[in-house]
Amino acid sequence: MAIFSWRKSESNEQKPGTVAGAAGVGGIAGGVSGGDAAGAASPPASGAAMEFSPAKAEKFFSHARAMYDASNYEYAVQLWLSGLRFDPNNLSGFEGLFSAIDRFVADSAGKKPISKDVIKSVSGRGDVDRFLLSLLEWGMKPREAVFAVRAAEGASKLALKAPALWITDRAFGITLQEKKVRKDLLIKCSECFEKIEAYEKALAAREQALALDRTDGDLAAKIRSLAAMATMNKGGYDKAGQAGGFRSNIRDADKQRQLEEQERIVKTDETIDRLIETAKADYDRRSDDLPAIERYAKILLERARPADEERAHELYFNAFTKFAQFRFRELAGDIRIRQSRRKASELRHMLEKAPGNETIERMLAQADEEHAALELAEHIERVKNYPTDLPRRFELGKRYFAVGKFSESIEQFQEAQHDPRNRASSMTMLGQAFHKIGWNEEAIETFRHASELKDLLPDTQMEIRYFLMTALQAKSEQDGDLPSAEEADRLASMIARQQMGYRDVRIRRDAIKALLSRLKGPRGA
C-alpha cells in the first residue's frame, strides 16, 4: 500500500544545527521501558551520517505494532519514529506513528506529556531528526496549523516528494480552517508546494494569501510567475529539447496517443480494446513486473466484461500468492465485492418491475445476505493484515453492524474513534451499537461526547442529535425516567424546527409527547 516511493536526494545529508521547538512537544515525563526495538538495529547516533534502510526500518515498525497492540502507545511512538529515521518515506510508518500518538493523547486525556525518552529519539541535529520532531509536534496537536506547516517544510526540505505533497495538502487545509487565517503560513505552504514542483497547488496557496492582503504587490507578481510555471509544467514546455520534454511528447505519436487514451475519462470501446491489447503485450513480456500486472488488470476492469473481471481477479490473486503483498489480495476481494453488489442490484431492479414477486424477494434477500457476509469476511481479513490501520477498523465495524453483530462492531468503533478522520462517524456508530444491545446509558454518553467534537458538519450534528434523542427516548421508556423524556422532547422539537422531514422525527415527537404525558401522570403537562 506504500504510495511514497523512496528517492534519495543530496538534501538528505546530515547538517549541523539546533533542534527547534523540542519543548513544544510537551514536558518531561517518566521514561518508557524498553529501549531499542527487540531484534532491531539501533537508530543512528546524533550527528552520524544518515543511513536509509527500509529493512532496518521494518524491524522497528514490527516492534511498534506489537507495542501498539499491547496498549504501550508511548513506546510505540518512539519505535515508529526510530523506524522512520531509516525510512522517512514510508507510508505505513506515518500511519502507525499518527495512530499511536492519537491513542497516547486520548488515553492520557492531555494530562501526561510525551516523555523525555521519546523526544531524545528525534533530538539529533540533522534534517531528518528535525522533520521527525515536527511530525511528533503535529501529531500531539493535529489541528494546529503552525505544527502542520512545520512538518510540511521538513518534508519538502528533504525532497521527500510524495510525503511533502501529502503533508502540505493537509497543512494547507488546516491553515484555511483556522479562526484567523495567517498569510505567512499560506505562503510557507506555497513554498513547500513549489519545492516539489506542485505549481498549481503553490499558486492556489498564494492566491489565498493574496486574498488576505490585496495590497501586496510582490505577492501578486509571484502569483503571475507561478501561473506561468504551472502552465509550462503542465504542458512540458519547461523541458523542451530534453528527454521527456515537450519535443519528446510530440516525437512519438503512438506513445502520446496511448498516454492520452489512458488518461481520458470517457473512452470508446475501440480505445479500451486497444489499451487492453497493449497492456497484455506488456504483461506477456514481463509477467513478474508489478506495474505491468496492475496496468493490465486495471484496464480489464475498465472494460468490465465478466471474463475481464475474472482475468483481473486471477492476475491480482496470483500476484498476491507470488509476491506476498496483501494489497493484491485486497484488490481481488474488491472485485468479488463488486460482483456481489451488482447481483443484488440487478435483483432489486427486477423486483421494482415485478413488485410482490415472492421468488425474486427470496432471491434478493439471499443475495443481500451473501453480500453482507462476503464484505464482512473481506474486511476481517484486511484488519488481520493491517491491525493498526484505524480506517480499516472503522470499515470492519460497519460490516459487523450491518449483519447485526453489534458487540463485535463496538470493539472496532472503539478503536476507530481514535482516528481524527473518522472520529465523529465512529462515535456515532458506536453509540448506535450500544443502543442496539440495550446499553442506553452508554449510548447517551457516547452521543454526548460526539456532539462536543469540533468542526462537525451540519448533517453530522443533526444525525448525532437524532440518535441521542432516540437513546434518551429508549432510556425513558425502559426506566420510566422523566428527565430523559424531557430532554428527548427538546431535541425532537429542535430537529423538527430545523428540518421537519428528517427521518421519522414527526412520529418520534408524537411518541415522546405521549411518553411525557404517561410519566407525568395525573399532574398533566
Q: What percent of the chain has pLDDT over 70?
A: 82
How would you class 144 by CB atoms within 10 Å of its CB: exposed for 0-12, middle for 13-18, buried for 19 or more?
middle
192 near 164, Cβ under 8 Å?
Answer: yes
Residue from 433, 415, 417 nearest 425 by CA: 417
- C-alpha to C-alpha distance for 215 and 188, rounded to whole angstroms: 19
Residue 349 lies in a domain: no
From 223-227, 387-391, 423-427, 510-514, the region with the lowest mean pLDDT: 223-227
For residue 289, is it within any domain?
A: no
The pLDDT of 482-506, averaged and rounded, is 94
Mean of pLDDT values over 230-236: 63
CB of 206 within 8 A of CB of 219? yes
Q: What angle do CA 440, 408, 93 make, to 5 degrees?
A: 115
Q: What is the pLDDT of residue 215?
A: 83
Mean pLDDT of 100-122: 77
Lowest mean pLDDT among 49-63, 231-245, 413-427: 231-245
Lowest mean pLDDT among 150-154, 222-226, 233-237: 233-237
Q: Say yes or no to pLDDT of 487 above 90.
A: yes
Q: How far is CA 306 from CA 302, 333, 339, 407, in A?
A: 11, 15, 9, 38
Q: What CATH number is associated with residue 53?
A: 1.25.40.10
Lowest mean pLDDT among 36-45, 230-239, 371-380, 415-424: 36-45
What pLDDT is attached to residue 20?
34
Residue 373 and residue 403 in contact, taking contact as beta carbons nearer than 8 Å:
yes
User: For residue 416, is it within any domain?
Assistant: no
State the pLDDT at residue 109.
58
Q: For position 111, what pLDDT does the model report?
A: 60
Say if 277 falls within a structural domain: no
With beta carbons less than 8 A apart as the criterion, state whether 198 and 165 touch: yes
428-478 pLDDT tens trace: 999 999 999 999 999 999 999 999 998 788 889 999 999 999 999 999 999
Residue of higher predicted confidence among 230 and 160 = 160
Residue type (1 letter), 104:
F
Q: Is residue 48 part of a domain?
A: yes
At residue 355 the predicted structure's pLDDT band, cuts being 50, 70 and 90, is very high
Question: Averaged over 390-413, what is the pLDDT?
Answer: 95
Q: What is the mean pLDDT of residues 403-423?
A: 93
Average pLDDT, the chain: 82
- Our count of domains for the chain comes to 1
Please answer whether residues 195 and 164 qualify as being in contact, where contact means their C-beta atoms are separated by less than 8 angstroms: yes
Question: What's residue 267's pLDDT?
Answer: 56
User: Which residue type does 473 have?
Assistant: Q
Per the domain annotation, does 272 fall within a domain? Answer: no
Q: How does pLDDT run across 178-220, given as a tens digit for each residue?
A: 888 899 999 999 999 999 888 888 888 988 888 888 888 888 8
Average pLDDT over residues 100-126: 77
More confident residue, 33 or 192: 192
Q: Tell which residue, 281, 287, 339, has the closest CA to residue 310.
A: 339
Are the beta carbons of 46 and 55 closer than 8 angstroms? no
Kind plus residue range of the DSSP H or E element containing 276: helix 269-285
Structure confidence at residue 108 as a pLDDT band (50, 70, 90): low
Within a domain: 387: no
Return the residue matching grid coordinates 499518527.
98
pLDDT confidence of 41, banded at 50, 70, 90?
very low
Task: Give me the domain span that covers residue 208.
Answer: 10-238
pLDDT at 438: 95
Q: What is residue 523's predicted lDDT score, i.e. its pLDDT? A: 55
Rounded to whole angstroms, the Cα distance separating 154 from 195 reads 11
d(CA 237, CA 225): 15
Under a CB-based contact definition with an 8 Å cutoff, are residues 382 and 330 in contact? yes
155 belongs to a structural domain: yes
Which residues fall within 8 angstroms of residue 120, CB to CB, at 6 or more apart? none
Q: Which residue has the higher pLDDT, 260 or 151?
A: 151
Q: Which of 15-24, 43-52, 326-335, 351-360 has the lowest mean pLDDT?
A: 15-24
Mean per-residue pLDDT for 352-379? 95
Question: Between the ranges 114-128, 213-227, 490-504, where is the mean pLDDT highest?
Answer: 490-504
pTM of the model: 0.53
The secondary structure of residue 354, as a DSSP letter, is S
Kindly write down the DSSP assignment for every residue of 322-368, as one continuous string: HH--HHHHHHHHHHHHHHHHHHHHHHHHHHHHSTT-HHHHHHHHHHH
